[in-house]
Amino acid sequence: MKETFKTEKLTFISYGLLVVAYALFFFLLLKKSGGVNFSAIILILFALPVLAYFLFLSVKKVVISEEGLEVVGITGKKRVKWEEISEVSAVPGRRNFLFISTKEGKLIVIDDSTEDFKRIMEEVGKRVPEEKLSENYREALKNYKKSYGSQALILTAALVLLFLLLRSFL
């Protein structure tokens, strides 16, 4: 049985709204300035990482199966069989991460912007031998609590940009 986990909806919507707000903001900026100029290009360059991260979120998925784990991202797929895993580290904080190392030196990173992150941690914890889990793994799993701080920050930024756009039209 395969389980597929994609980007959490609130994270995806937050970044999508921010990308739309940036696009509208730059369109208005270009229109008011009469065309492309050096300042506009610099501002657009600052927005490219947000667009790139949104594209990453749109293709990101984690697939857990009886054979192993597959993580799909903007740069491709990484597959690992359960028996190939050499170490799993849980890094709790404002954002939580799973770092999965393989015997061949591959590193797979899963963050809590993935839907049902706790379930992913539980599945990994069931399928990987205890000695390959970091010392804090069970504690991190037990104490896991989803943080919405980054989504709130992104939504605030998007809403501020949209507010500025509305003010410029009124």
User: 63: exposed, middle or buried (C-beta count within 10 Å: 0-12, 13-18, 19+)?
Assistant: middle
Global confidence as pTM: 0.85
| pLDDT, tens only, 1-53 | 899 999 999 999 999 999 999 888 888 878 877 777 787 788 788 889 999 99
| pLDDT, tens only, 97-111 | 999 999 999 999 999
Residues near 143 by Cβ (< 8 Å), separated by ≥ 6? 92
In total, how many domains does the chain have? 1
The CATH code of the domain that includes 93 is 2.30.29.30
* CA 14 – CA 141 distance, rounded (Å): 26
Mean pLDDT computed over every residue of the chain: 91
Cβ atoms of 85 and 95 within 8 Å: the answer is no
Domain that holds residue 33: 3-169
Cβ atoms of 100 and 85 within 8 Å: the answer is yes
